[in-house]
Every structure is written in C-alpha cells, then in structure tokens.
Amino acid sequence: MYRNDLYLQSKIPTRYQAVHWWPTPNTQFSLPDVVPVEVQNPFDEGCRCAAVSAPNAAVAMFRNAIAAIVQIKGSDEANSKNTLFLTIQQMGTDGTLFNDFTEWAHHVRLTGNAGAHQEQFEDVTSEQASDLREFTRQLIEFLFVQPARRKNAMPTTRRAVES
C-alpha cells in the first residue's frame, strides 16, 4: 500500500507498507504423508479459508474432509449408507469412532452444512471455523497419524538364534 499521508509536510520520501502476505501466515498445517490426499486437500483448503477470514467456506471444506475420512475409514456397511449422517452413525456403531469423535464428526458435518447453505443458517463465525479446524485435525490425528506412529513404534522382533 502506498503511504504518503504521513509525510505530506516533510521532506522524507514516501514509503510503501505491505498489506498482503503470501502464503498467508498460519495457513500451513503440514499433515504427515500417512494422511491420504483426499483428506489433506480439503483440510488444507479449509485452513487457508479460515486464515483469510472466510469461515463459511472453511467449515464447508472441513465437512468435505470429514466426508473423505468416512469414505476411507468407514466399513462397507457404513459406506453403503446414503447420507453422511448415517455413515458417521454407523462408524460409531462399528467402533471406528469413539462416542466423542462421533459427536465431533457430527458437529463438523452440521456446521459445514451451515457454511455451505447460508440461506438456511446463521453465518459461521471465525471462532467456530477455528474450532472446527482443530476438531478435524484431531480426527485426522486419531484415525491416520496415531495408527501409523503405533505401527512404527512396534517392538523389534528377536533374531533367530544360530546353532
């Protein structure tokens, strides 16, 4: 941004002030490679939307990340359901999601609906978008990252004893 309003009466040269940064600060949540790209992409886009004060778009993208998660992690029975609500419910029944995580997934789904269907819901706040970013990140951590870490941390096997 060109700034000379402060310097009109002086001999000091005018200056420029930066108003936009790219990439936007606080938008990069690097997810490990164990997270499928179908989950990473909507999550990353939601983070970028939240960072530029577009909370409706952000929560809609976090909902898309949840939809990708349930397609990847849901059982055949869960994926045979015709709505995201029923799929999440089935994942809770199957034990793929703990009760609290089932509630979180529904919360992300409902708030994502509000972001996508603004004509039917109140506007989503930036605080709500930040909360949903954290809920979604925790679900990703629980369903993809932690299992990979546990697998990598398995004890080593004993060598065969040579006789």
The residue type at 154: M
144: Cβ–Cβ under 8 A, 6 or more apart, which residues? 32, 34, 35, 36, 39
Q: Dihedral sign, CA of 74, 76, 78, 84?
A: positive
pLDDT of 116: 83
C-alpha 132/C-alpha 55 separation (Å) is: 10
Q: Are 59 and 115 in contact (CB under 8 A)?
A: yes
pTM to 2 decimal places: 0.76
- Mean pLDDT per 10-residue interval, the chain, length 163 residues: 54 62 61 90 93 92 94 93 94 89 90 84 90 92 89 78 71
| Cα–Cα dist 27/34, whole Å | 20
| pLDDT at site 30 | 72
pLDDT at 54: 93
Phi, psi of 135 (to 5 degrees): -60, -45
Contact present, 16 and 3 (Cβ < 8 Å): yes
Residue 92 backbone dihedrals phi, psi, to 5 degrees: -65, -45
Q: Would you mind telling me the total number of residues written for the chain in this entry?
A: 163
Taking Cα atoms as reference points, which of 107, 109, 35, 128 lies closest to residue 67? Answer: 109
